[in-house]
Amino acid sequence: MEVIVSHVNLDFDGLACMLAAKKLHPNAIVALTDKQQASVKSFLAIYRDKLSFSAYEHVQWDEVTTFILVDVSSLSRTGVPINQLQNYRTIIYDHHHPKQADDTNGHQIIKPYGAAITIFIELMMKQHIQLSPFEATLFGLGLYTDTGNFTYPQTRTEDLQAAVFLMKNGMELTLIERFSEADLSPKDKQLLQTLLLSGSEIEKDGLSLFMTKHEQSEYQGGLATLTRKLLEMTHSDGVIVTVKMNKHVYIVVRSSSERIDFQPLLHSLGGGGHAQAGSATIKRSSLSDAVKQVQSSLNSIFQVPLTAADMMTSPVKYVHPDVTIQSTFEQMFQYGHTGFPVLNEKKQLVGVISRRDVDKAIHHGLGHAPVKGYMSTNIITLPKEASIETIQATLMKHNIGRIPITEGGKIVGIISRTDLIEQLHQSLPNEKDQQLISQKSMIQKMNRQLPSSIVELLKAIGQMADERQHPIYLVGGIVRDLLLEKRNEDIDIVIEGDAIVFAERLVQSLGGTYKAHSDFGTATWITETNYKIDLVTCRTEYYDAPGTLPSVKASNIREDLSRRDFTINALALQLNEAKFGTLLDYFQGQHDLQNKQIRVLHSLSFVEDPTRIFRAIRFALRLNYDLAEQTTQLALDAAHMVKLISPHRLMRELKLLAFEDHLCRGIEQLDQLSIWEELFNAPLTVKRTKMLNSLKEHRIQDVYLYLLVFLTDRNGEILRQYALSSEHQRLLDELHELEGQQEPFYSFGSAHKQLHNIQDKSLLFYSIREDDEWIYTYTLRRSQLIPLLTGNDLIENGLTPGPLFKLILFQLACMQLDGEIDTKEEAIEWLNKQLSEK
């Protein structure tokens, strides 16, 4: 016998899931507990006749073979008389994080959605199951109440998609509104008042927690609703309600802050729920003992507050009071900043200049004036210990765009409004949170994919950086490939400090040698085991003009990563000891890895460096990814900019495609972005595609020949621009010679007399381009020709080495090509005949 059950103190999500489970398991019995929330009781009082339930006392529990648990993962929380059960298995549908006490001896479908009913709606959508308006409405009650009308932090995209499906099936929102906020009964109001008056508030790390307790002889449902009301009435960040009713103690929690996570508390009490909402029942306990248990776990629920030190940008870019407005404007453009702190010669903070101030001064023709005349001297600062809540309140109160962070009277960092918005956005749970990698998981990946000697070396590097208080990071493709579980031991390290000085210290402490590149602020360290590690100073860059190489200046890790080409390459791993293995992902690179897409970091990326279009295609082919929709459009919009790419840089990008064996496919995808039409007014035609495939079939490696597919006589001037070597110049000359050939060849031997000095690849390309089957056959026969005689054979036959050797061997080759001589014996016979005639 199959039985569907849910948790005691049944809410609308559990009720909805029970009905939904019945549609997927039609032979199962739905067993209804008598402990229900007040709003659920009100609903059942009206609509019980439309539902088919069995009361717990009417179920033969010893005959149950399968329990279908919905909105719960443990039989102990269902009120089922476990002592009456025989052998059984479980099928679990739940949206709460699994706990140690959960049942695991069966099939589980657990997804972290805002409501458990969303799991069933997904399954019914896939199976094309239609719903009645009543079913859709009941399911909607579960969905809306458990997500707080889609306002609770645990709400996911899938919950909203489920609501769309329910609307299409006749969900009635008026009924949902009526029952989701049921009126409180006189008894509920009295209990609410008692809980409000008997409670007290505690403060910790800027958060307020309201705690209340009560004891009464009879059980009373609806405690979850009352707890939610208390959260609204007290304006606290969290509420803990502890009430003893009859023999048991019931604990219900609610929070409106991401920094309060009740799960450790709930798990310690054997309860369950979400981080910001849940409950637990302590059976046969005194109220005082239960309160002590709650208080002993309080410290575990408060998350470490995010402070200014965690969020600020450092080192700080600043301007001097005497620098001109015009110079400040240019720096704002270079760095993309909307303001700068102003520091005097002693590095003391004396003001702040905003983009608005600069724009006004320039508008009035005052670009030559010094900053000190237009900066704001009403400076609002905060210490490094300021919490994110304090930072937010300060920005709002003073309506400012940035806050300098100070320590000991000196500026150590700065936080902008953009920094705050990004932190708040990152704290919002959504589908992207499912892929965030913890520090522990990242270290496990490193240990699994890198040699232990490399991991220990990275730890030693981090510890050395700690000695100088320099943040240091592992960056580049190795971080991406760690997430993809691909092998990569190419180590690039970025340090917020002088990379060359740090390389010197590495050599002094760990041995080896280093080579400095002063112009770029980089160094290459060769370890004693001959392992090469590239060290780079954190830097930012800007482009004076599209298509040119960027100008580079020292910066911080955030700006260093922001100059990368794509989000999947803008990842970093911190190596400092305290944060070793912490992943930095400012641009949602993990999200793009999961969705298998290549996405640029900003909208002008291709304009500033058009070669990134080629790199985008190369990464897409290497990883079998697609370009993100906006990235594709940005590439199309910037296609005309490829004309600014030097022939040398373009050839380099094509060689990289060829090195990864993606040249033909790369050329085809670049054509879809209009690259060849913009460069050479020569889009990829059927004929050109055939030529490219022929070159690939013949394993031609020279990328210049592939480029020649697009370069015709009409753009002959460009031919020489891309012929960057003497070999390519010769190739062009040979093609020109073949194009000027007018006399038809009567045999392969006669052709060889005129074409023997032309390279095979020139002949092959010409035959493919002109579709010349005769030249093509001659080229293949010539390339496969094995000489029948050598110089030693001529000496053995009495000849003295000299110019005659070359003539004889060449004549033999011509005869071989024409099929007049096929064996060495025939060649010697012909030689002897020639000698006798001479």
All domains in the chain, ordered by first residue: 2-180 (3.90.1640.10), 186-301 (3.10.310.30), 308-427 (3.10.580.10), 433-579 (3.30.460.10), 596-724 (1.10.3090.10), 791-837 (no CATH)
**Residue 731 C-beta-side C-alpha neighbours within 13 Å:** 22
- Report CA torsion sign: 818, 820, 823, 827: negative
Highest mean pLDDT among 263-277, 709-723, 758-772: 758-772
| Model confidence pLDDT, tens digit, residues 761-817 | 899 999 898 888 888 999 999 988 999 888 888 888 888 888 888 898 999 999 999
Q: What is the mean pLDDT of residues 33-48?
A: 82
Residue 716 is predicted with a pLDDT of 61
Residue 185 is predicted with a pLDDT of 80
| Model confidence pLDDT, tens digit, residues 490-504 | 899 999 889 999 999
Answer yes or no: is pLDDT of 742 > 70. Answer: no
Answer yes or no: is pLDDT of 393 > 60. Answer: yes
What percent of the chain has a predicted confidence (pLDDT) above 70? 94
Residue 433 is predicted with a pLDDT of 40
Tokens of 425: 């956005």
Answer yes or no: is pLDDT of 545 > 50. Answer: no
Residue 425 is predicted with a pLDDT of 59
The dihedrals phi and psi of 709, each to the nearest 5 degrees, come to -60, -30
- Residues with Cβ within 8 Å of residue 157, at least 6 apart in sequence: 430, 431
Residue 73 is predicted with a pLDDT of 87
Answer yes or no: is pLDDT of 627 > 90. Answer: yes
Answer yes or no: is pLDDT of 121 > 90. Answer: yes
216 beta partners: 245
- Residues with Cβ within 8 Å of residue 484, at least 6 apart in sequence: 593, 623
| Model confidence pLDDT, tens digit, residues 450-497 | 999 999 999 999 999 999 889 999 998 999 999 998 888 889 999 988
CB 517 within 8 A of CB 557: no
CB 750 within 8 A of CB 810: no
Answer yes or no: is pLDDT of 251 > 60. Answer: yes
Residue type at 179?
F
| Model confidence pLDDT, tens digit, residues 342-358 | 999 888 899 999 888 89
Measure the CA–CA gap between 589 and 570, rounded to whole angstroms.
7
Answer yes or no: is pLDDT of 432 > 70. Answer: no
In 3D space, the residue among 579, 569, 655 whose CA is nearest the CA of residue 616 turns out to be 569
Tokens of 504: 């010197």
Tokens of 252: 């219900």
In 3D space, the residue among 133, 159, 157 whose CA is nearest the CA of residue 146 turns out to be 159
Residue 549 is predicted with a pLDDT of 45
CB 153 within 8 A of CB 276: yes
Average pLDDT over the chain, rounded to an integer? 87
Measure the CA–CA gap between 251 and 255, rounded to whole angstroms.
14
Confidence of residue 558 (pLDDT cuts 50, 70, 90): confident
Residue 181 is predicted with a pLDDT of 65
Confidence of residue 551 (pLDDT cuts 50, 70, 90): very low
Burial 759-785 (b: 16+ CB within 10 A, else e): eebbbbbbbbbeeeeebbebbebbeee
* Other residues' Cβ atoms within 10 Å of the Cβ of residue 292: 10
- Residues with Cβ within 8 Å of residue 544, at least 6 apart in sequence: 551
Measure the CA–CA gap between 584 and 483, rounded to whole angstroms.
12
Confidence of residue 624 (pLDDT cuts 50, 70, 90): very high
The dihedrals phi and psi of 201, each to the nearest 5 degrees, come to -115, 135
| Model confidence pLDDT, tens digit, residues 562-619 | 888 999 999 999 999 989 999 999 888 999 999 999 999 988 889 889 999 999 999 9
**Total residue length of the chain:** 838
**Helix 663-672 with 647-659: angle, nearest 10 deg:** 130
Measure the CA–CA gap between 301 and 688, rounded to whole angstroms.
66
DSSP-derived letter for residue 259 is T
Locate all alpha helices (DSSP H) within 155-218, ordered by sequence. 157-168, 173-180, 186-198
Answer yes or no: is pLDDT of 180 > 90. Answer: no
Task: Tell if the pTM clears 0.75, that is, is over it.
Answer: no
Measure the CA–CA gap between 387 and 397, rounded to whole angstroms.
15
